[in-house]
Amino acid sequence: MPALVLLGAQWGDEGKGKATDLLGGSVDYVVRYQGGNNAGHTVVVGDQKYALHLLPSGILSPGCTPVIGNGVVVDPSVLLSELSGLNERGVDTSKLLISGNAHIITPYNVTVDKVTERFLGKRKIGTTGRGIGPTYSDKINRVGIRVQDLYDESILTQKVEAALDVKNQLLTKLYNRRAIAVDQVVEELLAYAEKLAPYVTDTVLVLNQALEENKVVLFEGGQGTLLDIDHGTYPFVTSSNPTAGGACTGAGVGPTKISRVIGILKAYTTRVGAGPFPTELFDADGEALRRIGGERGVTTGRDRRCGWFDAVIARYATRVNGLTDFFLTKLDVLTGWEEIPVCVAYEIDGKRVEELPYSQSDFHHAKPVYETLPGWSEDITKAKSFSDLPKNAQNYVKALEEMSGAPISAIGVGPGRDETIEINSFL
Ligand code: GDP
Ligand code: IMO
Ligand code: MG
């Protein structure tokens, strides 16, 4: 069973980085398949803390080859500074592989992201401002720049010209900004070419050959199921497919190769940016979850919106991803509450609804129906097995598992690699 997908089951920031890092020592490849440096994955190894944005979390495991797949959008300046930051800390990054088909986030994509958000005013998405949406939109419009284009100056110039043709009209006539010069962009991009060259390859071939040789490949999602462009809370989503199918298209691996799909699930819920969030709390409990859970964005530094666990969302994530397992994270953050409400269904216009409504307006009206579970006060951060947990914490986990539709195979009780309870092995 060589290929596993590990993805966010909620709105991102579930602890994917920690979970990937935990498995990194036992897998041969860790592959990012979508998104870009909108992701912020915090990994704690011993007393060292790493914040990764574009690099797969497997980069911290010496035996593992990290791969940036074709479905990722790459900002070369961010990538190079992330690599040099890790090198300065003694991390070997020389094994990194980057798909020549991955798209480049150009400086004008970042500009367009920011001006579009400003133009949308109160209807804005609350993007990370990293140029993600405009880069994917150029990809779909077939005016994108790919990593391989950096190695042919004449093609690169033609492509930048084509991309800027319409954008400069928009920037100058609609957004009241200065036009962007083709030469300047080409020069900036060409300057990255040589530095990236050692890493660029046909990652589809590499990964498929690895799978034929029975190597273990882990696909690490960015963002989360409800931020998926097709299956999330559109339009308040990111512009790629973090859901399991995205691993196939974003890495060039067939669905028959994937044997396990692990959903990373926070023991409560958070969201960054705009959009509906039925269990969001605006009271002292919300504030306490934010404070105790350290819920502040790794990428943008924004406070995360916090709320109780939502089982409707977990069930939905199980279904659209075909989840085989959950990795429940941050259970320790809930220590100290006398009672913990869990959303088991929604009430929409007076009716009880058990499953996520497909209609955007229904979801905006959804009110959580709560069941309250008894809490615990004992410190659980040293727990090593399920039976080490206090009875009420065990019951909380069992209740979530029953409501969510897939077994909880691991539990996070702290940010460190070893602060994890393994119930079923992932490999
Ligand atoms: P990601 O984007 O899914 O990788 O998640 P983030 O790194 O953005 O946010 C998760 C945060 O929770 C990070 O600061 C992690 O170090 C931390 N974390 C992960 N798992 C646990 C856990 O089980 N308990 C606690 N207390 N913190 C955790
Ligand atoms: P990780 O991988 C949480 C959110 C943004 C915004 C929306 C669109 O750390 O879980 P974008 O810049 O992608 O066009 O923004 O998506 N968003 C995230 N929220 N965690 C992330 O990544 C996110 N990446 C994007 O806040 O609401
Ligand atoms: Mg994050």
Domains of the chain: 3-91+202-422 (3.90.170.10), 103-198 (1.10.300.10)
Burial track 360-369 (b if 16+ CB lie within 10 A, e otherwise):
eebbeebebb
Q: Which ligand is nearest to the CA of 124?
A: 2
Residue 41 among the catalytic residues: yes
Q: 41 CA distance to ligand 3 centroid (A)?
A: 5
- Dist CA 337 CA 375 (whole Å): 5
* Residue 326: predicted pLDDT: 98
Instruction: Please say if the pLDDT value at position 408 is more than 80.
Output: yes
Confidence label for 297 from pLDDT (cuts 50, 70 and 90): confident
The single-letter DSSP state of residue 125 is: -
Going by their DSSP bridges, the two strands 408-412 and 420-422 should be labelled as antiparallel
* Residue 1: predicted pLDDT: 58
* Residue 298: predicted pLDDT: 84
DSSP letter for each residue of 368-387: EEEEEEE---S--TT--SGG
**Closest by CA position to 12, among listed 289, 317, 415, 279:** 317
- Residues 238-272: pLDDT tens digits? 999 999 999 999 999 999 999 999 999 999 999 99
Atom of ligand 1 nearest to the CA of 42: 7
Give the residue, by CA position, lying nearest to ligand 1 atom 26.
414
Mutation to probe ligand 1, out of 330, 332, 413, 422 (largest number of atoms < 8 A from CB): 330
Ligand 2 neighbourhood includes 203 CB (under 6 angstroms): no
Confidence label for 12 from pLDDT (cuts 50, 70 and 90): very high
- Residues 71-127: pLDDT tens digits? 999 999 999 999 999 999 999 999 999 999 999 999 999 999 999 999 999 999 999
Ligand 1 neighbourhood includes 412 CB (under 6 angstroms): yes
- Residues 56-74: pLDDT tens digits? 999 999 999 999 999 999 9
